[in-house]
Amino acid sequence: MVARHRAARAVRDPAGLGAEGVPDAGAATVLVDGPLDLVRRRAGAEAESGRQPLRQIAWCHRTTLARRRGPRERFAGPSPRPPSTRQPPASHPPAPRWAPPPRAPGAPPGRIGRVSVEISRGSRRFTDRVPGRLTRHAFSFGPHYDPDRVAFGPLVCHDDHLLGSGQGFEEHPHAALEIVTWVVSGRLLHRDSLGNEATLGAGECGVLRAGAGVRHSETASADGPVRFVQTWLAADPDAEPAYARTAVGDAAAHGDAAGTLRLVGDGGPLEVGVAGAAYDLVRLGAGGSATLPTAPRVHAFVVSGALLRSSLAEPLQAGDAFLIADEPAHVVSAGVPTELLVWSFA
């Protein structure tokens, strides 16, 4: 828009230069108005073009409606809508009322027997990398802290370790713990302040009772790397320190036809100072199934292989784990040869 009744000049010239210093000062200058000026000018243009403001149109519409009504209807408000006479089709039966699902067999009274499993992905584990050593922590450890992942019952540490040849952990102290080590592959050398020296091979399990205090070291053998899974259970701080070990061959007598071997706990070759704790090795072939222990708390770790969907709602792969609390027994099925390590706490 251009000024109509006066000579064109620069607008918004805070420096007071006038026409000097303004590009194309001799030509018609485009007005640079604020938003409020533009609204006012637009309203004037609408009036000049014969348009009626919206407010005036609305007022005329209300006046016309009032004239059409009788004297008593003018202030009676809108006429009420007549009640609907539509009926639902006869082919649509009434919707059934919601009812809770039936309680699963064995579920505690007052609880709905639904599948409730917390899945802990291996990709979410805290990872420590140093030359010759890789550790994945399931729970808060050292500089890694998550208030939602501190412990699961007495289980305060669940680590998946990979050590290079001759690498490991130098001698360090422990107390008030039951330390359970399962060797997945390779060989692990164990030494402790009690005078014990042992080499654990694949398929062997060792239990170190730290109790009132003990020191130990763990190192991969010089002939190759080692992978082992180590768990810590909070235990009696006044217990007498001790060390014991076992192999799968020793645990085979405590297994069942489904491929479950009891390593630690009631009926197994090893013990820990935690009442009601049991540690099982579950080995399944492709398409095989097993029923997990029924206990208030169950922690199952997929060492290798993969589990199918079924009662877990989604598949799990090596490195994943699932935690079950106060639930009925679960059946797991393997898609490929699979190995599980399962803690249960009564």
The two three-digit tokens of residue 325, written as one number = 């609390």
Lowest mean pLDDT among 194-208, 229-243, 282-296: 282-296
Q: What is the mean pLDDT of residues 198-213?
A: 97
Looking at the fold, whether 240 and 315 belong to one and the same domain comes out as: yes
Lowest mean pLDDT among 120-124, 207-211, 245-249, 304-308: 245-249
Q: What is the mean pLDDT of residues 137-147?
A: 92
Query: In the chain, what percentage of residues exceed pLDDT 70?
Result: 62
Residue 102 resides in a domain: no
pLDDT winner (highest mean) among 52-61, 175-184, 241-250, 319-328: 175-184
- pLDDT the model gives residue 207: 98
Cβ within 8 Å of residue 60, ≥6 positions away: none
Cβ within 8 Å of residue 213, ≥6 positions away: 173, 174, 175, 241
Q: Is the separation of the CB atoms in 31 and 1 below 8 Å?
A: yes
CA 8 and chain centroid, separation: 68
Residue 279 resides in a domain: yes
Looking at the fold, whether 167 and 266 belong to one and the same domain comes out as: yes
Lowest mean pLDDT among 61-65, 225-229, 252-256: 61-65
Higher pLDDT: 97 or 121? It is 121
Checking if the pLDDT of 322 tops 60, the result is: yes
Looking at the fold, whether 168 and 308 belong to one and the same domain comes out as: yes
Local confidence band at 328 (pLDDT 50, 70, 90 cut-offs): confident
Residue 58 resides in a domain: yes
Domain CATH for 308 = 2.60.120.10
- pLDDT the model gives residue 7: 45
**Which of 183, 243, 244 is CA-nearest to residue 215?**
243
- Cβ count near 63 (within 10 Å): 9
DSSP for 5-21 reads SS-------TT--TTTT
Region of residue 50 (phi > 0: left; psi between -120 and 50: alpha; otherwise: beta): left
The distance between the two most distant Cα atoms of the chain, rounded to a whole number of Å, is 110
Checking if the pLDDT of 298 tops 90, the result is: yes
The three-point CA angle 183-181-134 to 5° equals: 70
Cβ within 8 Å of residue 338, ≥6 positions away: 282, 283, 284, 288, 302, 304, 305, 306, 307
Q: What is the mean pLDDT of residues 233-260?
A: 81
Residue 135 resides in a domain: yes
- pLDDT the model gives residue 248: 77
Looking at the fold, whether 194 and 327 belong to one and the same domain comes out as: yes
Total of domains in the chain:
2
Q: What is the mean pLDDT of residues 35-43?
A: 41
The two three-digit tokens of residue 87, written as one number = 């009926």
Looking at the fold, whether 307 and 231 belong to one and the same domain comes out as: yes
- pLDDT the model gives residue 30: 38
Higher pLDDT: 218 or 12? It is 218
d(CA 286, CA 310) in angstroms, rounded, equals 15
pLDDT tens digits along 333-344 = 999 999 999 999
d(CA 213, CA 314) in angstroms, rounded, equals 42
Looking at the fold, whether 141 and 226 belong to one and the same domain comes out as: yes
- pLDDT the model gives residue 67: 55
The two three-digit tokens of residue 315, written as one number = 């598949």
- DSSP 8-state code for residue 167: -
Residue range of the domain that includes 301? 117-345
Local confidence band at 225 (pLDDT 50, 70, 90 cut-offs): very high
Local confidence band at 235 (pLDDT 50, 70, 90 cut-offs): very high
Burial (Cβ within 10 Å: 0-12, 13-18, ≥19) of residue 179 = buried
Looking at the fold, whether 291 and 183 belong to one and the same domain comes out as: yes
Looking at the fold, whether 123 and 60 belong to one and the same domain comes out as: no
